Structure 1
Amino acid sequence: MTLEQLRHSPEQLRTRIAEELDRARSRSARLTDIDREDLVRQHSPLMSPLVWDYAHIGNQEELWLVRDVGGREPVREDIDNLYDAFQHKRSDRPSLPLLGPDEAGAYVAEVRRKALEVLERTPLEGRRLTEAGFAFGMIVQHEQQHVETMLATHQLRVGAPILDAPPPPPTGPAADRTEVYVPGGMFLMGTDLEPWALDNERPAHAVGVDSFWIDTDPVTNAQYAAFIDAGGYDDERWWTPAGWAHKNTAGLTAPQFWHREDGVWWRTRFGHVEEVPPHEAVQHVCWFEADAYARWAGKRLPTEAEWEKAARYDPATGRSLRYPWGDEDPTPEHANLGGVYLQPAPVGAYPKGTSPLGVRGLIGDVWEWTSSDFTPYPGFAMFPYPEYSEVFFGPEYKVLRGGSWAADQSAVRATFRNWDYPIRRQIFSGFRCARDARDADV
């Protein structure tokens, strides 16, 4: 049952919330059940020590569920400043008097015990913060988002592998065509109905787009390698001025973690060195690289509205679906989510996740860069705190959509909006291309 259906059954909703909290904790606990030295070390100035992320997860849970929703006395009020993400830059966090691994583990366990007690006693209605368990869902999503952040930290870690996973499913049937036509017109973007949707996904509003073509699948490693081989990193024509300047300053020559030996592309993935799989969606590319590839291919990145219309619009009914495949919650047959394989699957591996228009792989595998800046929707209302979305609105950030293989289904919706600086590459980001069309092009 969906959350919207469960909101009318409080006990079933409590059970679902407890299960989601436990599922998130099992993932974060696994990523921190490692050598103490690896937990406290900063593996990159871009990332926090893993032990900071773990205690931060507990601190946010304490602030919102134990103190705010539950009205209980603080567990560790003295550490609030240490784990406030806005008080200390990531590069500075190793120098703080952080909780050690054992102390952090005991802290998050104590907070979780109290949070579950609050869950049992809190009416899941009558207050916006607790309606349909919103505050609990917000904390579930927060922890799952930090799981993805911790996976990015693990990817930056140097040393023998400590994470492993089975291989992803094989590629599915080839697509009938490499592009899908999306008719112009209005559609409903955003949501008013998802109980755990965050403020930047709201409100639902009608948006019009012109007709366009969008790639059936995300750009693959093989396609991106062709861009490199064609001299794409050496030709200023394909880059914006800012992108060209960043490419030169940062010395970009290929996706992060790639290297070439004897004409063969290899990558390092969680300590494993392996040949780059040609049919997987390319990942670890920044917005500037994605934009340059699109220009080289004679296309462009889709706007955020175009991406969402391709993902949600059902031409048979004219309505916007919850997910590309319909209104059903994600299952392992729909998308590559939850970090099961620790990598993208080959394109086409999830035919049941195809949208009504015929676009594949829109949820899972890689976050997809769009051309859009991160801005509020018309009628946006901040809730429950400005530091989630509001303080990030502006042209400094680009929107990513769809979720990666590392994202969890609780933190991925067809309306979910991610954002980051256009220079970011350590995230599990890829893209697909679009181009303008006329109705006569069908």
Structure 2
Amino acid sequence: MRGDTSRSPVLDRRPDIDATVARFRDVRGTTERLAEPIPAEDQVVQSMADASPTKWHRAHTSWFFETFVLAPHLPGYQPFHPRFALLFNSYYQGAGPQYPRHLRGTLGRPTCDEIARYRRHVDSAVEHLFASHPDRLDDVTPLIEVGLEHERQHQELLLTDIKHALATHPLQPAYNDLSEAPHQEPMPLRWRSYSGGVYRIGHSDTLKTFAFDNERPRHGVFLEPFALADRLMTNGEVLNFIEDGGYDDPRWWLSAGWDLVQREGWRSPLYWQNIDEQWHTFTLGGPRQLRLDEPACHLSFFEADAYARWAGARLPTEAEWEVACAELPLHGNLLESKALHPRPAPEASSNALRQTFGDVWEWTASPYSPYPGFEPWSATLGEYNGKFMCNQFVLRGGSCLTATDHIRPTYRNFFPPQARWQCTGIRLAR
């Protein structure tokens, strides 16, 4: 890292203030709408160390604006509470100490009502900054955009974290009523082939659109000829792996994955239960009978990799995925569909890939590492992505909980290989 000499978030265009304010209101409002079905008693629950309580997500995203936008750029700004910085700083060492992550669920106070007041305080101050200091907008608007993209990430985490909390509750309550997609026969799997050669991947600054620092710089990669499955793997196909003894056969597993499966006793994806010879799963709509036609979800990298080996294939690299998906339209089963659950693949209308955006994040075989020439953002914001480039794997494509305006072909999500409470699944390559 280069500290203060590395790049800051850059807006390569004149800021459209009205559009930025409108998006700020929309994104901030969406967080509150997503939290609304969750009663206060559940908003404090932390079901595991990797998850956070709902009200913590609501507060942390406000702390982000307070710390990186308001405190340095709004003269005379008064923080809502002098101790909130300790409670709601996640991992930014340069911004001060943090309350232990695994103890966030012990914080009965501040109450949900106080968090709501905190959010209103921050929202009002941000809008006041826009209205009263037009001379600062060139510096502030890029930071606002980072904050909004950051909040989009936490909207997805809010939903996956409350799903885990509700699933581990003995009553398994639903987050909300959800409609099911019509049943259909699983679509035959087809392969789409791509030529080898040198390709360019990564975000291009000529696009003049937002991207995180880890998506830059655009650079060349050499690929051998490859093929991708034209849809995601289904629950039915993963069930075939289970019934063939896949979780009991070390041939398919990386060593660390095999050790994990044995230690944790995994015999199916997260949330699957076999009750009276019938498979069920937990959804944000509560428990359901397992749909064989839906994309398999909540698999770790180790499980996805083992399934791919068993199927005589492999996981794609992130470069292969981006080359194949770079020109595809950005639509699919994303947050705006309100399904909040993966849906069966649509019928194939051409030879194009299906389900590339939405439904489930797709594991790739690529370790999360810096692109050649990577420069993290400056100062404390440089901690956003760069310091996690170790022991993680890249996922692509977004999920049914990802907002449409947050995803793009160059987006690099990342999680450790054992993680499976996110909406993660499989696309095969060969």
Normalising TM by the smaller chain, what interval? 0.7 to 0.9
Q: Residue 386 of structure 1 aligns to a residue in which SS?
A: helix
Q: Distance in 1 between matches of 2:225 and 2:200?
A: 16
2:332 to 328, 331, 335: 335
2:72 to 68, 73, 78: 68
Q: Distance in 2 between matches of 1:187 and 1:123?
A: 42
Q: Which amino acid aligns with 1:374?
A: Y
Q: Distance in 2 between matches of 1:434 and 1:100?
A: 48
Identity of aligned residues (%): 33
Q: Residue 287 of structure 2 aligns to a residue in which SS?
A: strand
Q: Which amino acid aligns with 2:334?
A: L
Residue 415 (1) aligns with residue 375 (2)? no
In the alignment, which residue of structure 2 is the partner of 1:138?
Answer: 146
In the alignment, which residue of structure 2 is the partner of 1:389?
Answer: 385
Which ranges in structure 2 are unaligned for 5 or more consecutive residues? 1-9, 92-97
Residue 36 (1) aligns with residue 48 (2)? no
What is the Cα deviation at residue 60 of structure 1?
Answer: 0.6
Residue 281 (1) aligns with residue 295 (2)? yes
Q: Deviations over 1:262-308 (max 9, x none)?
A: 43221111252211112221110000000000000111111111111
Q: Which amino acid aligns with 1:378?
A: P
Residue 167 (1) aligns with residue 175 (2)? no
In the alignment, which residue of structure 1 is the partner of 2:162?
Answer: 154
Residue 432 (1) aligns with residue 430 (2)? no
Which ranges in structure 1 are unaligned for 5 or more consecutive residues? 313-320, 436-442
Do the aligned partners of 1:52 and 1:98 also contact (CA within 8 Å) in 2?
no
Do the aligned partners of 1:155 and 1:271 also contact (CA within 8 Å) in 2?
no
Structure 2 matches for 1:112-261, cutoff 5 A? 112-121=123-132, 127=138, 129-130=139-140, 133-156=141-164, 157=166, 158=169, 159=171, 160-168=173-181, 174=187, 178-191=190-203, 192=205, 193-261=207-275
The 1:370–1:194 alpha-carbon spacing in structure 2 relative to 1, beyond 3 Å, is farther
Question: Could you state the TM-score of these two structures normalised by the residue count of structure 1?
Answer: 0.85
Do the aligned partners of 1:134 and 1:195 also contact (CA within 8 Å) in 2?
no
Q: Residue 352 of structure 2 aligns to a residue in which SS?
A: coil
Residue 402 (1) aligns with residue 397 (2)? yes
Do the aligned partners of 1:398 and 1:420 also contact (CA within 8 Å) in 2?
yes
What is the Cα deviation at residue 19 of structure 1?
Answer: 2.9
What is the Cα deviation at residue 169 of structure 1?
Answer: 7.0
In the alignment, which residue of structure 1 is the partner of 2:114?
Answer: 103
The 1:100–1:241 alpha-carbon spacing in structure 2 relative to 1, beyond 3 Å, is same
What is the Cα deviation at residue 110 of structure 1?
Answer: 0.9
Q: Distance in 2 between matches of 1:184 and 1:257?
A: 39
Q: Deviations over 1:102-141 (max 9, x none)?
A: 11110011101111222335559985x54xx322221111
Residue 91 (1) aligns with residue 89 (2)? no
In the alignment, which residue of structure 2 is the partner of 1:375?
Answer: 369
What is the Cα deviation at residue 402 of structure 1?
Answer: 0.7
Do the aligned partners of 2:185 and 2:293 also contact (CA within 8 Å) in 1?
no
Do the aligned partners of 1:48 and 1:93 also contact (CA within 8 Å) in 2?
yes
RMSD, aligned CA? 2.6
Do the aligned partners of 1:217 and 1:360 also contact (CA within 8 Å) in 2?
yes
Do the aligned partners of 1:59 and 1:83 also contact (CA within 8 Å) in 2?
yes
Q: Which amino acid aligns with 2:110?
A: L
2:342 to 340, 344, 361: 344
The 1:94–1:383 alpha-carbon spacing in structure 2 relative to 1, beyond 3 Å, is same
The number of aligned residues is: 403
Q: Distance in 1 between matches of 2:287 and 2:217?
A: 45
The 1:89–1:282 alpha-carbon spacing in structure 2 relative to 1, beyond 3 Å, is farther
What is the Cα deviation at residue 432 of structure 1?
Answer: 0.6
Do the aligned partners of 1:182 and 1:212 also contact (CA within 8 Å) in 2?
yes
Do the aligned partners of 2:199 and 2:222 also contact (CA within 8 Å) in 1?
yes
Q: Residue 309 of structure 1 aligns to a residue in which SS?
A: helix
What is the Cα deviation at residue 71 of structure 1?
Answer: 4.4
What is the Cα deviation at residue 90 of structure 1?
Answer: 2.7
Q: Distance in 2 between matches of 1:79 and 1:145?
A: 21
Q: Residue 399 of structure 1 aligns to a residue in which SS?
A: strand
